[in-house]
Amino acid sequence: MFDLKLKKQVDKTEVDDAVNKADESENEQLVISTGSTYKAKEYEALAYLEKEDSASRLVEILEYSKISDCKYEFNEISGLYEVYVSPTSYELANNIYKKVLEDKLLEDVKMAEEENKIEKEEAKELEEEISEEISELNTQKAFKEPTLYDSKEEKYKDNLSSAFTFLFCGVVGLIVVLLNDLGVFKLIQKDSSSFITVNVILILMFAVFCGIGVWSLIYSKKLKLEAKEENELITKVNEYLEENVFIEDIDKEVDDNIPEEIKFFSRVDFVKNLLNKEFSDYDEELLNQISEKYIEKLYA
């Protein structure tokens, strides 16, 4: 009887040892498969984080929330920091973790908005700077571009050419219409229903050409007188420049360290200012042109 009882006790001990070994083996397999040293029955995984600071911060928050049974470790297999809590605290910890994620998301959104706002402000400032530079360049360009002045003589020549062109087209057109009506040409048949209409339109059109030509001839006479007066003024101004404005005088007023292209415009400005004082009642654009041509001639 004693031996039998002893045998039962020995068998029970062996069974317990076998169960313990099975549990240890199961834990070893869990560590191998998951990389975690925590038993599945004791802890539940709450979060998988890339940075140790994030995992440590989450544990601090959980501990501050009176969840003491929490810890984290680095999983070599996944390469992540895993945060674990006890099953009894999992629900509360999970709610806290969601709240942390929500706050973090809102913070990231806010930071993104602030960065976006900063980028927009920087872009606006950059756009304003570019606009100012473009405006300045346009101002410089307008200042530096040579003066485009149409002299009276050029206007007279252009107007006279236009006058002869209109007169020629008008007269030739009227002659062609007349010859067509006399039957010399047969461009428009007299028995055509539109003969009278087309004939009247052509006569009016060529008559207008003749009228424009005559008016241009009359206006050309006026321009010819103005061109003569302007040429006399130009001669007078050039004589003044040749007698009073010399290279030495100009070079004294121009910075020698600036590029040669800029020197040209500085020299023109100097001469132009002198002419504006001496001939204040003259056309300013004409004086600009005379100044440019004089500098080109003087420094050729």
pLDDT in tens, 147-206: 556 778 888 888 999 999 999 999 998 998 888 778 777 766 666 677 788 888 888 999
> pLDDT tens digits, residue range 89-139?
888 888 888 877 756 655 655 666 666 666 667 666 766 766 565 555 444
Q: What is the CATH number of domain 21-107?
A: 3.30.70
- pLDDT at residue 18 tops 70: no
* pLDDT surpassing 50 at residue 65: yes
Which segment of 11-15, 95-99, 215-219, 262-266 scores lowest on mean pLDDT? 11-15
Q: Phi first, then psi: what are they for 123, rounded to 5°?
A: -65, -40
What are the tens digits of pLDDT across the range 213-251? 999 999 988 888 988 888 888 899 889 888 888 888 888
Q: What phi and psi, each to the nearest 5 degrees, are found at residue 85?
A: -135, 165
Residue 88, pLDDT > 70, answer yes
How far is CA 102 from its chain centroid?
Answer: 38
Do the bridges between strand 80-85 and strand 70-75 make them parallel or antiparallel, or are there none, so unpaired? antiparallel
Q: Which of 224, 225, 221, 238 is closest to 282 using CA atoms?
A: 238
Q: Locate the domains of the chain by residue range.
A: 21-107, 152-298
